[in-house]
């Protein structure tokens, strides 16, 4: 199924090029069609509906209309840097104890020192990427209404299938809005029902966006397919449960109200569903993680293929950028490392040096644990998590070694286990410490780590365990904020605040600024406090 889905993703890059324009920078209410083909032209065959749905999924994987570079969706920045996963990953990981980067590309080092400004081009590109994804989802929904399907003579069987496509499109829009409120707070709220003539969208608060996402997920969940009954890489009910549970677990941050108890029944549905833990942690991040057993743990993953979805973002970035120094690029299935990303001593210290834990995939040969100079790749241990080889060490499909086949997990079952454990420790109704301990030990046993007792489960332990299990998967910033340790001085790591030993940062940096370019485009947007 992966090849079929990847083929659709490849086809979709050629679709809607005119209807869904590139170079967006604001949450416009509809694609600019001044010189474009009407969107309806791309829904002229029964097959086109699925192909256009594939375009929406491809929006998380690709960076432009031809890939890997040359016709970007987002202008004014290197195309690979504008890719969805890469941009979101930098904001979620480089700002934390889990990752530093040695490059001097523009303002990229401002992420780790938490010194970004409203004019940061990387932040602007990610804000624009969210915009582009939402615009595309809205247009798909406009083109698949009952009225338009009836006018095109769509039969009842296909119409029923398109109803599922629409629910999936609404999910993809909802997760993008979740990323928006998590990183930027408020913004423009535009849907398929927004005006199609030009206008400046009103500003929506974080609470208003939260309410929209919550209501959308409640509405679409019954319309999605049952867990693990959909095609590979397409979302199902478990993905909706996971996203809504994520929303509830961060509700105290987003809207000032605790909703952990509401997350518990959703998480319980996931843990009792058809998804299962893979037996080998390290295999979760290999080139064949669509078929080596990892796919049974992945609730929602972004498909990458070295031949069909070529990009310098995604897992290509996460495979090349962490390789440097004396590391053997061939063992990662690539033609060379980019010598950029490492981790801090604070993250390394979360692993017991006297205990085997296969999740601590550190490369130490020629690397120092402490970072004296961020620009020097050999300062800081390297992490060997993502590899473009299969379980037998065979290279991925791109034999030139440029682009990776490894898929990127957005949600996986292990995360649900730890979410349940956190709810239990926080005293949320419906979650028991007994079950929480069993879930944590299932992960630690897989990683060959020491098991724990109920008394070991504290909030600090849960936060550290999430780092050990989920590092470099785009969760860390959100987790640290939820636990009150991202900014301020309650938790200091090397180079936080710009000093080698680390220093406190201002609390307003729990949110990124609305980019100055977006504010200039739509003055109805409101800047976050502190910027």
Determine the pLDDT at residue 37: 53
Residue 518 has pLDDT above 80, yes or no: yes
Per residue in 371-401, pLDDT tens?
Answer: 999 999 999 999 999 999 999 999 999 999 9
CA 190 to chain centre: 21
Q: How confident is the model at residue 66 (pLDDT cuts 50, 70, 90)?
A: confident
Residue 67 pLDDT exceeds 50: yes
Please give the Cα distance from 114 to 520 (Å, whole number).
24
Single pTM value for the model:
0.94
Which residues pair with residue 187 across a beta bridge?
A: 204
Q: Is residue 64 predicted with pLDDT exceeding 90?
A: no
Confidence of residue 353 (pLDDT cuts 50, 70, 90): confident
Give the percent of the chain with pLDDT over 70.
93
Overall average pLDDT of the 200-209 stretch: 97
User: Residues 119-126: what's their mean pLDDT?
Assistant: 97
Confidence grade of residue 12 (pLDDT, cut at 50, 70, 90): very low
Lowest mean pLDDT among 40-54, 209-223, 425-439: 40-54
Helix-then-strand count for the chain, H and E:
18, 8
Q: Over the stretch 275-333, which tens digit does the pLDDT of each residue have? A: 999 999 999 999 999 999 999 999 999 999 999 999 999 999 999 999 999 999 999 99
Burial of 296 (0-12, 13-18, 19+ CB in 10 A): middle
Using pLDDT thresholds of 50, 70 and 90, give the confidence band for residue 3. Answer: very low
pLDDT at 248: 98
Q: What whole-number distance in Å separates Cα of residue 244 and Cα of residue 274?
A: 19
Strand partners, 300: 411
Least confident of 6-10, 323-327, 340-344, 493-497: 6-10
Average pLDDT, the chain: 93
Say which residue the tokens 């050999």 belong to: 378
């Amino acid at each position: 199924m992966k090849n079929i889905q990847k083929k659709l993703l490849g086809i979709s890059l050629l679709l809607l090029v005119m209807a869904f324009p590139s170079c967006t920078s604001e949450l416009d209410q509809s694609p600019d069609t001044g010189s474009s083909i009407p969107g309806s032209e791309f829904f002229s065959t029964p097959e086109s509906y699925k192909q256009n749905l594939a375009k929406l999924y491809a929006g998380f994987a690709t960076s432009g209309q031809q890939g890997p570079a040359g016709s970007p969706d987002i202008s004014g920045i290197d195309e690979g840097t504008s890719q969805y996963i890469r941009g979101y990953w930098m904001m979620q990981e480089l700002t934390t104890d889990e990752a530093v980067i040695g490059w001097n590309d523009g303002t990229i080092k401002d992420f780790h020192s938490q010194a970004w400004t409203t004019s940061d081009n990387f932040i602007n590109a990610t804000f624009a990427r969210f915009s582009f994804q939402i615009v595309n989802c809205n247009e798909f929904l406009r083109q698949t209404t009952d009225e338009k399907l009836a006018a095109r003579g769509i039969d009842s069987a296909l119409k029923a299938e398109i109803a599922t496509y629409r629910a999936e499109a609404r999910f993809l829009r909802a997760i993008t809005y979740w990323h928006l409120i998590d990183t930027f707070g408020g913004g423009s709220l535009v849907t398929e029902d927004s005006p199609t003539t030009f206008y400046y969208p009103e500003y929506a608060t974080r609470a208003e966006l939260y309410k929209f996402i919550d209501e959308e997920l409640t509405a679409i969940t019954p319309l999605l397919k049952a867990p693990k009954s959909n095609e590979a890489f397409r979302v199902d009910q478990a993905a909706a449960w996971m996203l809504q549970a994520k929303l509830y677990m961060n509700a105290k941050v987003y809207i000032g109200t605790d909703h952990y108890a509401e997350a518990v029944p959703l998480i319980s549905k996931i843990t009792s569903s058809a998804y299962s833990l893979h037996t080998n942690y390290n295999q979760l991040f290999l080139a064949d993680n669509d078929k080596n057993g990892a796919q049974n743990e992945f609730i929602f993953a972004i498909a990458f293929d070295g031949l069909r979805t070529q990009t310098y973002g995604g897992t290509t970035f996460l495979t090349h950028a962490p390789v440097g120094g004396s590391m053997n690029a061939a063992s990662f299935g690539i033609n060379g490392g980019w010598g950029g990303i490492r981790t801090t001593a604070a993250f390394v210290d979360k692993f017991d040096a006297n205990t085997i834990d296969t999740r601590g995939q550190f490369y130490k040969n020629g690397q120092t644990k402490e970072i004296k100079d961020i620009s020097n790749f050999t300062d800081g241990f390297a992490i060997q998590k993502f590899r473009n080889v299969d379980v037998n060490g065979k290279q991925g499909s791109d034999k030139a070694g440029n682009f990776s086949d490894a898929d990127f997990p957005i949600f996986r079952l292990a995360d649900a286990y730890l979410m349940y454990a956190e709810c239990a420790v926080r005293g949320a109704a419906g979650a028991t410490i007994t079950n929480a301990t069993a879930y944590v030990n299932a992960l630690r046993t897989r990683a060959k780590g020491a098991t724990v007792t109920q008394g070991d489960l504290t909030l600090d332990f849960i936060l550290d365990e999430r780092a050990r299990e989920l590092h470099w998967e785009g969760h860390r910033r959100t987790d640290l904020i939820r636990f009150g340790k991202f900014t301020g001085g309650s938790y200091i790591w090397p180079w936080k605040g710009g000093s080698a030993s680390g220093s406190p940062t201002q609390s307003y940096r729990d949110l990124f600024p609305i980019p100055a370019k977006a504010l200039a485009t739509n003055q109805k947007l409101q800047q976050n406090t502190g910027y």
